[in-house]
Amino acid sequence: GENLLTMKLERPPLPFRTTQNILEHAPERPPWVVEPWIVRGTITQVIADVKDGKSTFVKGLARAIARGEPFMGRLAERGPVVYLTEEPHSAYVEGLRTVKIAPHDDIHSLYLSDTWGWDWLSLALKTIEYCKGINAKLLIIDTFPRFAGFEGEDENKQGVVVAAYKVLERAIAEGLTVM
């Protein structure tokens, strides 16, 4: 019998690239959604202590992208935003009002409480499909550990986090931007 080291796998060749090839095909500047915070086709994390204003910052960013207006003096690429929120309805609405998000702003929200019965992989794949359908500029997951279903100390376990992130890597491969 063959072992894993000698076994031939039927797979396409790996697309190794030289540095010259990579640099020749790279844009002059990164494709910013909002410079210097979000580059298109990446995963960006917002990290701060509890009650330091992360959700307010992210909602302000969402408003700027939805309107194509500057955010903190920087241009924002205009387009729809998909916002997954763990906040209860009343707190989320208050946050929207705090940053003056209006009914006509192109922000599509989903409450964590509306996802009961959904496993993370299925929810993420449906969300990616929705984002692609509306050509979303940004998918916000507030907060990733809650939507991914982490329990206890899961968010501190590398294997658990890496497994949950794999579906977000698929989103990136399909051209989405995630925060």
- Compute the distance between CA of residue 154 and CA of residue 41 in angstroms, rounded to an integer: 26
Strand pairing category for 107-111 and 81-85: parallel
Taking only the tens place, the pLDDT of each residue in 14-70 is: 899 999 999 999 988 889 999 999 999 999 999 888 888 888 999 999 999 999 999
Q: What is the pLDDT of residues 113-170, one digit of tens each?
A: 999 999 999 999 999 999 999 999 999 999 899 999 998 888 888 888 888 889 999 8
* 120-129 confidence digits (pLDDT tens): 999 999 999 9
> Could you tell me the sign of the dihedral formed by the alpha carbons of 28, 33, 36, 37, in that order?
negative
Total length of the chain: 179
How remote is the C-alpha of 114 from its chain's centroid?
A: 19
